[in-house]
Amino acid sequence: MPIPIIVKGIADGLDTIPWIWSVFRYAPWVLLIGVLKYYFGGARNISERLMHSKVVMVTGGTSGIGASVVQELALRGAQVILLTRQPPSDLFLVEYIEDLRRTTKNNLIYAEQVDLTSLHSVRTFATKWIDNAPPRRLDAVILCGGIALPSSARTLTPDGIDAEWQVNYLSNFHLLSILSPALRVQPAHRDVRIIFTTSSGYIGAKFDLDTVRGLNSKTKNDSAQRKNVYAMSKFALMTFAQSFQRHLSAYKRPDGLPNCARVIVVDPGTCRTPGTRRWLTGGSLWGLLVYLITWPFWWLVLKSPQQGAQSILYAAMEETYGRGQGGWMIKECRQVDYARKDVADEDVGKRLWEFSEKQIEEAEKAGAVKRGLEKKEKEAEEEKKERKEKSSGKAPSAGSRRSKKNKA
């Protein structure tokens, strides 16, 4: 069709072609938008690794970048275990998994509850996972779960820890510390990858352990400190990633073969995900209105979740990363150097590791006491109710201790 138009233009003059001057006027702009969109879209993963039979655990696989990673891995035949904050019986989750299974023609997609705001939930899952002989197959752990809260919306988790710090860093530390034996004992020929997602925010993090301690107090922290939490959590995650690689590599396997588990840190780039939207809008209606008005700009300069997933998929699939010492960083589907050398500082890593273990120990002890008290309170309440029912001559209510006793 364009050829007859061009011929007509040459033969009869451009003025005979309707709208031609408008096309000339707007074409450079359309081209510019196309070039910018292509540029901000980032690199594409071109690696082809067969994922059939590979067992991949993913946090944050229900939304944003993680959901795109899961979709692609499932399409390639991987067995995916989604670690989600909701229980597997949650209706939304059931529908989500059914949909994934249908669209990817892969039935090997499951969910396990791992709420990253609860150290108890992380421990319950991870101890259940490692309590298996022979050890279960595990080819990759992809950590996409995370939150970026507006600085006005700071909260503490039920463990009494800053939510952003716990979800983005501490729970990942807890999960991998418990799963570590299951990762180290995978057969030596297996290519096991642990993928951490970070953000370029880590470069500006003002990190010290006293600031982290201060975050968990109920008193309001100053706003500059609060803005630093996300960056600190990512800095800590990357420092831990390096320590975890050293920890895996130091393990002497009974078969004398080298370690087969490798850590990779990935910066997916800034994407238009629900998390980014919440952060940009500051969690307010006015913020949402401004976001909607300025949406064309965000559409142009931010990646889609699928584009953000590319570097993570590259880290999970590129052959090169199935060999060597591990501890690499990937951005735009390329290996890059860490912008800050202190993430690989052994001393910083050691102090952070000890601090994190202590923080978890204290929080878990307090959590166990709290759960014990709650249980006692519940039992006392039930007993009181039963006594009341007994004295009034009523039949015991379903589920009460007396009704259970009667049934037995």
Q: What single letter denotes the amino acid at residue 307? A: Q
Q: In the beta sheet, which residues pair with residue 77?
A: none
Which of residues 71, 172, 180, 199 is near ligand NAP by CB under 6 A?
Answer: 199
DSSP of 170-199: IHHHHHHHHHHHHHHTS-TTS-EEEEEE--
Nearest to 58, CA basis, from 131, 110, 136: 110
Residues numbered 257-276 forming contacts with ligand NAP, rule: CB under 6 A: 268, 270-271, 273-276
In the complex, minimum distance from the CB of residue 110 to ligand NAP, in angstroms, rounded to a whole number:
15
Q: Which stretches of 17-133 are DSSP H helices?
A: 20-41, 64-75, 91-104, 119-130
In the complex, minimum distance from the CB of residue 51 to ligand NAP, in angstroms, rounded to a whole number:
20
Give residue for tokens 């039949």: 395
Beta carbon nearer to ligand NAP, 172 or 243: 172
What are the strands, taking DSSP E only, across 205-364? 261-267, 328-331, 334-336
Beta carbon nearer to ligand NAP, 9 or 150: 150
Q: Is 122 in the site for ligand NAP (CB under 6 A)?
A: no
- Upstream peptide bond of 134 is cis (omega within 30 degrees of 0): yes
Which of residues 57, 141, 167, 248 is near ligand NAP by CB under 6 A?
Answer: 167
Q: Is 147 in the site for ligand NAP (CB under 6 A)?
A: yes
Q: Is 229 in the site for ligand NAP (CB under 6 A)?
A: no
**Roughly what angle, to the nearest 10 degrees, separates helices 91-104 and 64-75?**
40
Helix (H) or strand (E) run with residue 361 in it: helix 346-391
Cα–Cα separations (whole angstroms), residue 105 to 75, 99, 138, 237: 7, 10, 22, 34
In the complex, minimum distance from the CB of residue 384 to ligand NAP, in angstroms, rounded to a whole number:
34
Site string for ligand NAP, 59-98 (x = CB under 6 A): xx-xxxxx------------------x-------------
Q: Is 42 in the site for ligand NAP (CB under 6 A)?
A: no
Site string for ligand NAP, 316-355 (x = CB under 6 A): ----------------------------------------
In the complex, minimum distance from the CB of residue 351 to ligand NAP, in angstroms, rounded to a whole number:
23
Give the CA radius of gyration of the chain. Answer: 26
Q: Is 146 in the site for ligand NAP (CB under 6 A)?
A: yes
Q: Is 192 in the site for ligand NAP (CB under 6 A)?
A: no
Beta carbon nearer to ligand NAP, 89 or 392: 89
Residue in 8, 37, 206, 234 annotated catalytic: 234
Which of residues 117, 228, 310, 356 is near ligand NAP by CB under 6 A?
Answer: 117
> Is 234 an active-site residue?
yes
In the complex, minimum distance from the CB of residue 217 to ligand NAP, in angstroms, rounded to a whole number:
21
- 142 φ/ψ angles, rounded to the nearest 5 degrees: -115, 115
- Beta carbons of 352 and 360 less than 8 angstroms apart: no
Nearest to 82, CA basis, from 98, 66, 95: 66
Q: Is 144 in the site for ligand NAP (CB under 6 A)?
A: yes
Name the site residues for ligand NAP (rule: CB under 6 A): 59-60, 62-66, 85, 115-117, 144-147, 167, 197, 199, 268, 270-271, 273-276
- Catalytic residue numbers read 234
